[in-house]
Chains A and B, each alone.
Chain A
């Protein structure tokens, strides 16, 4: 695990198979969605150029689709279309629609009226006017729209990895989660190059005269479809069960790598975002997921945790980590942050998570209810002694903890707080802390150990078997390396866990990860 020293080039060579398949998936997703967008957007643009009273409505709807955040749009797709390439293509198609419709409309309505009149007056039919006059003259504008759509799609397609559709996003988001810059770049650079490449190719097409372009236009769909089929045909899976793992889990020693090495688990795997993973499991899109043991959705979707009988998942006890200079600057901060220590165990945390994730209560309310119930709540003193910046990662549990800390600080000290919650992943959060953008955030011992410190394998095995050892090790190392202090553990252990639907697990008689392996081997 010394990827820090590894050069980007070495990483790309080592992962060249994966890189190639991800690039092909990426190209496939982009081109198929683009082709559908052209097939639908072009006639729609022509239609609204003919019937201008429709233009407001059509452009309005396409515009609204464009404004939906891409990850939200992908989220909407899951209940409708499940996970995988289909919903990703639909979402990308919706994104590509607006520039294509709008440019077709603008291009056609921009044709000189006297030219159109001359065409009609010479006896051309409406169809001939369209194909011989309007489309050729609008073509530069239409192609500019297609170029815009292509570049947008190459970018948005990176998010397709959230819903198990593959693409270069697997490296990018995996890399962010794993604090692996090479991995991020191995995804980001090819996707940027793809955007540039497509843009150049289309700019060449733009220069070809329309007459020659017609042959290209006929040939292109055939090529694209053939290519897309090649890219997107699902790789045949040998086993009956499908796993959906997060990009982070895929690349971790205490994740998929460990499962393969220690258990010898061979399962058909797709990469998926944790925001949609539980639901996808519930809806039987996938069968085994890499969840977190305190996640509220465990309860909501009636999933069961498989016992880690070979202990590959190290402990993930949560504790606030603070820059030491912040502790000096704000006396009394450490005591306040330690107030929570020992108060929240696994089942309490799962319950709290369930309330935010499934009952849709605000993290603020859940935090306040908890503090009141435990006689820790004090109203804010509205102090002005200084501003303490709280960070959190982008999931419910971290939001709740951040809220609790906010209330404790404002109620017990004269400091006020500002929140920088929702910092993407471990790397983003940790960088914010070391770069003095935030003062503290809740971290997990396992993450600190495996993602941030990355000790040699031999050392790792010694430490991870025991919670105490893990905590002591990260506390020492963070102090030494980064000047960051681990405060007392809050109490719960939010470790990785493999989960299945309770019903399916019962039917198949799977209780442990070893059971799962045996089942897969038999079938």
Chain B
């Protein structure tokens, strides 16, 4: 869906982005991860030509982006900003309706689509007549997301979308974000400096440094097959948590004990969830959770200790 070839951006003597190439398949979710100044935001903004590249080519949906009029290109790409970028002088309804307005949608279509999105994003319709300053940070970010989603653009670019939120709100919105059906079909490129966010939300992660992509791969690949010390060091501090997030229940399925009797527990997870998520439920009074394999419909009843044991066993099977 997105193809980037030998892309560079030079400011004076500095190479902000230095000859990078990558591809994002349709429906894929690429996270550009790195410290500030690594070139991740510059890369993102070159995709919708908010920044013009010094060299290199970008194709979106098979079309060279430089061959299109920038306004038309951008109308077909959703964009979410860190500080939400809502128009302070527009109501929530008007903010969400900006791109439909540019595309000259009729009012009813815009209204229906707005209500649909509000529902999906857990926003009350009472907010429609309010101004952004009257909303909480979490609500503002949801409205910003609704604005980016309203036209069903196949590509979504996100620049540190949850960066300005407090921890609790951020976790909550990240959860919702993962579950939102609208996003499943989309090709998403997201920029973040938050390693956890990257591992939580990305199918694939590109770790950038000094304008270059140091390594790109799935979360598990980055953790267990780091190409160099930079990657190893980058992920070192939060390694355990990241590993627990990178390994799914499916990966450890065979290390988990089979259930002998009919399992009884209030919670049932499927094997696509990662170990970290499963452990989150095993707190306080909850001693057991049920895990169900979608492939075989087999159900297992596990405790916290059994999960940890399975994780250690999995680790040992990995090549050094």
Q: Are B98 and A122 in contact (CB under 8 A)?
A: yes
Closest CB in chain B relative to A45 CB, distance in Å: 19
The verdict on B168 contacting chain A, using a C-beta distance below 8 Å, is no
Q: Are A118 and B81 in contact (CB under 8 A)?
A: yes
User: How many of chain A's residues touch chain B, expressed as a range?
Assistant: 10 to 19
| Residues 172 to 211 of chain A near chain B (Cβ within 8 Å) | 209-210
The verdict on A115 contacting chain B, using a C-beta distance below 8 Å, is yes
The verdict on B21 contacting chain A, using a C-beta distance below 8 Å, is no
B157: chain A residues at CB < 8 Å are 121
User: Can you name the residue of chain A whose Cβ is closest to the Cβ of B164?
Assistant: A114
Binary contact track B39-82/A, C-beta < 8 Å → 1, others 0: 00000000010100000000000000000001111111101011
The verdict on B86 contacting chain A, using a C-beta distance below 8 Å, is yes
Q: Given the known inter-chain contacts A121-B48, A122-B99, A137-B88, please indicate yes or no for A114 contacting B74, CB distance below 8 A.
A: no
A123 to B70, CA, bound (A): 7
B48: chain A residues at CB < 8 Å are 121
B172: chain A residues at CB < 8 Å are none
A120 to B82, CA, bound (A): 15
The verdict on A119 contacting chain B, using a C-beta distance below 8 Å, is yes
A117 to B48, CA, bound (A): 11
B86: chain A residues at CB < 8 Å are 115, 118
The verdict on B303 contacting chain A, using a C-beta distance below 8 Å, is no
Q: Are B87 and A119 in contact (CB under 8 A)?
A: yes
The verdict on A136 contacting chain B, using a C-beta distance below 8 Å, is yes
B82: chain A residues at CB < 8 Å are 114
Q: Are A118 and B85 in contact (CB under 8 A)?
A: yes
Closest CB in chain A relative to B261 CB, distance in Å: 57
A489 to B49, CA, bound (A): 86
The verdict on A77 contacting chain B, using a C-beta distance below 8 Å, is no
B139: chain A residues at CB < 8 Å are none
Q: Given the known inter-chain contacts A133-B87, A210-B89, please indicate yes or no for A120 contacting B74, CB distance below 8 A.
A: yes
Closest CB in chain A relative to B165 CB, distance in Å: 15
Q: Which of A120, A125, A136, A210 lies in contact with B50, CB distance below 8 A?
A: A120
Q: Are A114 and B99 in contact (CB under 8 A)?
A: no
User: Can you name the residue of chain B whose Cβ is closest to the Cβ of A116?
Assistant: B85
| Residues 103 to 151 of chain A near chain B (Cβ within 8 Å) | 112, 114-115, 117-125, 128, 132-133, 136-137
A125: chain B residues at CB < 8 Å are 71
The verdict on B320 contacting chain A, using a C-beta distance below 8 Å, is no
Q: Given the known inter-chain contacts A121-B50, A121-B79, A123-B99, please indicate yes or no for A114 contacting B85, CB distance below 8 A.
A: yes
User: Can you name the residue of chain B whose Cβ is closest to the Cβ of A133?
Assistant: B87
The verdict on B83 contacting chain A, using a C-beta distance below 8 Å, is yes
Q: Are B102 and A123 in contact (CB under 8 A)?
A: yes
A124: chain B residues at CB < 8 Å are 71, 98, 102
Q: Are A122 and B102 in contact (CB under 8 A)?
A: yes
Q: Are A115 and B74 in contact (CB under 8 A)?
A: no
Q: Are A136 and B98 in contact (CB under 8 A)?
A: no
Closest CB in chain B relative to A195 CB, distance in Å: 30
B71: chain A residues at CB < 8 Å are 123-125
A120: chain B residues at CB < 8 Å are 50, 74
Q: Which of A122, A133, A209 lies in contact with B79, CB distance below 8 A?
A: A122
Closest CB in chain B relative to A60 CB, distance in Å: 28
Q: Are A118 and B79 in contact (CB under 8 A)?
A: yes
18 A-B pairs besides A122-B79, A123-B99, A125-B71 with CB distance below 8 A are A114-B81, A114-B82, A114-B83, A115-B85, A115-B86, A117-B81, A118-B81, A118-B85, A119-B85, A120-B50, A122-B99, A122-B147, A123-B70, A123-B73, A123-B102, A124-B98, A133-B87, A137-B89
- 20 A-B pairs (CB sep. < 8 Å): A112-B83, A114-B82, A114-B84, A114-B85, A115-B86, A117-B50, A117-B85, A118-B79, A118-B81, A118-B85, A119-B85, A120-B74, A121-B48, A121-B74, A121-B157, A122-B74, A122-B147, A123-B74, A123-B99, A128-B102
Q: What 10 A-B pairs are tightest by C-beta distance, nearest first? A: A118-B85, A123-B75, A123-B74, A121-B79, A114-B83, A114-B85, A123-B71, A136-B89, A122-B99, A125-B71
